[in-house]
Amino acid sequence: MGIAKNYFYNVLLQISNILIPLITTPYVTRVLDPSGFGIVSFANSIVQYFILFGTLGLNLYGSRLIAYVRNDKEKLEKTFWELFWLRSLTIFLAILSYIIFLYLSNPSFIEVYLIQILNLLAVAFDISFLFIGMEKFKIVSLRGVTARLITAGLIFILVKGKDDFAIYALINAIGNLVSQVIVWKYLFQYIPTVKRVPFRKSVKHLPGSVKLFIPMIAIQIYTVLDRTMLGILSSEDQVGIYTPGVTLVKMATSLVTSLGTVMLSRISNLVANKEERMLRFYSEKAFDFATYASLFIVLNLYILMPSFVPIFFGKEFQSVLHVIKVICPIVLFISWSNFFGIQLMLPMQLEKAFTLSVSIGAIVNFFLNLFLIPKHGAIGASIATVVAEFSVTLSQMILIRTIINLFEFFKKAWKHFLSAFGTFVISLIVSRLITFEGNNLFSLVLNGLLVAVSYFLMEKMLKSGINDIVFSKMVSFLRRFFRVKSQSLFF
C-alpha cells in the first residue's frame, strides 16, 4: 500500500481520536466537573509509567524490526513471536509492580486506579507493531475507529453524574482493551502459525528495545510528568484545566505526526535495502509537509480558540483557552522533532543521538515545572512544555547536521512561515473590523474559513509545491467520493 493511502488511514484514526473526544469531552467535563475529570486524568498519568516500563521500547523497536524483515516470511513469523512473548513477560512484571505500588501507596479513589490495570492488559495484546512494520495501516485504523465509536456511545449512556468518574475510567479502559483484542482476527492472515520460541531467542531483543526504552522514559517525563507534577505541586483542579488543553493541542498535532508513523516503516525498509536516492526524496517531502501542515494547525488553534473553548468545554473551563494559546507552538516543534527523531534517527539506528535529544527535553521540562508550577499552575506547566519541545527539536538538528544537509530541508520553509504570518495579519484585521459578540459558533465557522482560504491562497501565490500536492490529493479524493455517492443513487 502506498504512503498516501497509509497516511490517509492513519489520519482517519487520528481524526477519530479528535472528533470523538470533541463530542464526548464537553459532555464529560460538564457532568464530572474539573475535580472528577482530574481524578481520572491523574490516575491515568500514574499508570502510564508502568505501561512505559512494560513496553520497554518494543513498539518502535518492533515496528522497525518488522520493516527490516517483512520481505522474508520465515524471518517475519519468527521475529513476531519472539517480540510477542517478550512483551507478554514485561507486561506481566509491570502489572505485578503496579499492584504492589497500589498496596503500598493506598491512594484515594482506589477503584479508579484498579481499573487502570485493564490498560496494562491492553498493551499485552497490542500487536499493532506488526501491521505498522508491514505498512498495513488500514487494519490498525479501522480497529481504532470502531473502538472509539463504541466507547463514546457507552460514555453517553452510562456517565450521568459527578460520582460517575469511575464508570468513565472503566469505559475507556475496556474500550482500549477490546480495541487491541479484536485485531487478532487479522493476525493469522500474515502469521499462519503460533510459535513457542526459546526464552533466549526472545531475550536477545532486550538490548535493542532498551536502547529505545531509555528515550521513551525521557519522552514520558515531559509528556506525562507535567500532569503528575501539577497534581503534586498545585492541585487536581489545575490538572483538570491543563489536561483538556494540552490533549486538544496534541490531538491536533497527531494529524501531522501520523506521517511519522508511516514513514518510520518506509524509511526503515529503504535503509535496510540501501536505497539512498528514494530516502532523500521521501525525507524532503515529509519535512516540507510537516512544516506546511503544522503552521496551519498552529494558526487555527490560536485564532479559533476564543470562539471554540466556550462551545467545547463550557464556562467552567474558560481557563483552558489560556493553556491552549500558550502551548500551541508545540505543534511545530513536535512535528519537526518527529521528523528528525522518529523518521530519520531511528531508522538510521542513531539511538544515542535520539536519546540525548529527548533527555535534554526531559531535564528542561522537569526543572521548569519545578519552578513554574507552584506559582503559575497550568500556565507554568504549559510554558515548560513549550520550552522542552523546542529544546528537543534544536538538539536534534544540531546532532544530525553532520549526517544530513539541513539547508535542503529548510530552503522551502520560508514560504510556509510567510503564509502563516500573512494569514495571521489578515485574521487580525478582519477581527478588528467585524465582531460576533455572543455568537461563538458563527465566529468559529467564519474565522475557520478565513484562515483556510487565506493560508491556501498565500501558499499558492508563493508557488508552494506541497500546497499543490495537498490540493490535488483533496480534489482527487472528493471526485472519487462523489462518484461513489452518485453511483449508489442508481443502484
CA distance 149 to 17: 10
> In angstroms, what CA-CA distances link 31 with 27, 387, 445?
6, 34, 26
Cα–Cα distance between 456 and 293 in angstroms, integer? Answer: 11
Mean pLDDT of the chain: 82
Cα–Cα distance between 185 and 165 in angstroms, integer?
A: 32
Q: How far is CA 396 from CA 227, 281, 382, 440, in A?
A: 25, 20, 22, 40
Q: Hey, CA dihedral for 402, 408, 409, 414, is it positive or negative?
A: positive
Indicate the pTM of the whole model.
Answer: 0.75
Q: Which of 66, 56, 67, 63 is nearest to 91 (CA)?
A: 56
Closest CA to 257 of 13, 1, 23, 55: 13
Helix, strand or coil for residue 204?
Answer: coil
The three-state secondary structure class of 68 is helix
| CB distance 262 to 6 below 8 Å | yes
Gap between the Cα atoms of 353 and 217, Å rounded: 15
Rg (the chain; Cα; Å):
23
Chain-centroid distance of CA 369 in Å reads 22
In the three-class reduction of DSSP (H, G, I as helix; E, B as strand; rest coil), residue 102 is classed as helix
Mean pLDDT for the stretch of residues 353-377: 89
The percent of residues in the chain predicted with pLDDT above 90, rounded, is 13
pLDDT at 395: 93
> Measuring CA to CA, how many Å separate 249 from each of 16, 38, 254, 329, 404?
15, 18, 9, 9, 30
Phi, psi of 401 (to 5 degrees): -65, -25
Q: How many CB atoms lie within 10 A of CB 274?
A: 7
Rounded CA-CA distance 419/422 in Å is 5
Across 313-333, average pLDDT:
83
Model confidence at 438, in pLDDT bands (50, 70, 90)? low
Cα→Cα distances 278→1, 151, 257, 270, 288, Å:
16, 41, 20, 7, 16
Please give the grid coordinates belonging to residue 361.
527535553
Q: Does residue 428 have a pLDDT over 80?
A: yes
Per-residue pLDDT, 215: 80
Contact predicate 382/326, CB 8 Å: yes
pLDDT one-digit tens code per residue, 204-222: 888 878 887 788 777 766 6
Lowest mean pLDDT among 57-61, 198-202, 429-433, 476-480: 476-480
Q: Where are the domains of the chain?
A: 3-411, 412-491
The contacts of residue 306 (CB under 8 Å, 6+ apart) are 321, 443
- pLDDT confidence bin for 392, thresholds 50/70/90: very high
Q: What Å distances lie between residue 341 and 11, 376, 386, 413, CA to CA?
A: 20, 31, 17, 19
